Amino acid sequence: MQINFNAHGAENQGLNAFLLILLAEICLVTMGHFVKFLTLSLDTMTVFVVVQVMSIVLLLPVILVRGVGRLRTPNIGLHSVRCVVGVTSMCLIFYAYQQLDLSLATLLKLLSPAFIPFAAVLVLGEKPYISTLVALAIALVGVAVSINIDLKESTHVYGVIAATLAALLAAFGKSLVRRIGRNEGADVIAFYFACFGALLSVPVWLLQGGSLTIVMGLSVNSLWLLLLVASLATLGQYTATVAYTKHRAAVVGLFTYMALPIAGVIGVAFWGDQISNAFLLGSALILMAGLIGSSARLTRTPQQNRSVERRNSKV
């Protein structure tokens, strides 16, 4: 009997992607909980700007230890585009956290994997497989089933639109991360995102009336919470970046559906979110979609894997 080591290698890669995204989603959903709490007393842009600046401070020691020379990049244009897309997406999802239940905002954000295969076609030249498309169709049905809010309230409408646009932009951002990551480390990608994010958001914040006085007037508790949010955001972004640079974007995107039960538990425990039967059914469909898509992709033949690598190397 022959042992297919290539198959075992694919399974190990899939497990690595699963664990990386699990950690990333735990960090990002928990971050969403604290962002929702902070925006009860602070405006969204203040929270975003302070978090971006703190993220730079957190990443700087890593860059210094590994060598500043690694910041030299031929991908400055891609970094810029990724930052514009990513910053806009983050601002929108921060707003959605403020306006919607945590579980619903997270659920709408999970539309991102549904957009990733199509974004990957444009950005990476990746070909979506039938199993992936079937899984994504099931996921979209799950999202549609789960939405159960009163859209007569304008804030709910704006929150839903913001979260949906955030998911669409995030899909393109993650595909760009995959492309940049072919020759750059995850820490460098995360550092550029934090730097460009601060450069883009600070002027907007100042035009909206933001000032250093506002930051200096923050309470110690608020500053500690902002530092916690920045830490969670940085760790979440870093681990997600590693996953997207090491594994195919469409596959890793499906694993992000694990954020749903995490957000549901936090939403019920801390925010009194109501979990309806429709939400549970939709969640089950979304989790099923993730399992179908990931298990199908892990059974690709070695010939298919080589074909994918040859196609991606041409992009």
Q: Where are the alpha helices (DSSP H) in 75-153?
A: 76-99, 102-109, 112-123, 130-146
pLDDT of residue 99: 84
- The set of residues, in sequence order, having a beta carbon less than 8 Å from that of 93 and lying 6+ positions away, is 32, 105, 109, 162, 163, 166, 170
pLDDT at 12: 60
- Predicted local confidence at residue 231, as pLDDT: 94
At residue 173, the pLDDT reads 86
Q: What is the pLDDT of residues 112-128, one digit of tens each?
A: 777 777 777 777 776 76
Q: What is the pLDDT of residue 248?
A: 67
pLDDT in tens, 231-287: 999 998 888 888 877 766 656 766 777 777 777 778 777 777 777 787 778 778 877
Give residue 311's pLDDT band: very low, low, confident or very high (50, 70, 90): very low
Q: Among 102, 103, 126, which residue's Cα sits nearest to residue 244?
A: 126
Tens-digit pLDDT profile for residues 16-72 = 777 888 888 889 888 988 998 898 888 888 998 999 999 999 988 988 888 888 888
pLDDT score, position 250? 59
Residue with tokens 């991606």: 312
pLDDT tier for residue 221 given thresholds of 50, 70 and 90: very high
- Terminal CA-to-CA distance of the chain, rounded, Å? 39
Cβ neighbors of 128 (< 8 A, separation 6 or more) are: 117, 118, 120, 121, 250
In sequence order, the 6+-apart residues with CB closer than 8 A to the CB of 127 are 121, 311
pTM greater than 0.85: no
Domain chopping of the chain, boundaries: 28-308
Percent of the chain clearing pLDDT 70 (strictly above): 79
Mean pLDDT in the chain? 77
CB 241 within 8 A of CB 79: no
Taking residues 194-216, what's their average pLDDT?
Answer: 87
Higher pLDDT, 309 or 114: 114
Residue 81 CB neighbour total at 10 angstroms? 17
Rounded-to-integer distance, Cα 14 and Cα 17, Å: 5
Q: To which residue do tokens 């690598």 refer? A: 309
| Both tokens assigned to 94 | 């921060």
Question: Where is average pLDDT lowest: 48-62, 99-113, 160-174?
Answer: 99-113
Q: What count of residues does the chain have?
A: 315
Which residue blocks in the chain are alpha helix, DSSP H?
Answer: 5-38, 44-66, 76-99, 102-109, 112-123, 130-146, 154-180, 186-207, 212-216, 220-246, 249-255, 259-271, 277-298, 302-313
* Residue 6 predicted with pLDDT over 50: no
Count of CB atoms situated within 10 Å of the CB of 269: 10
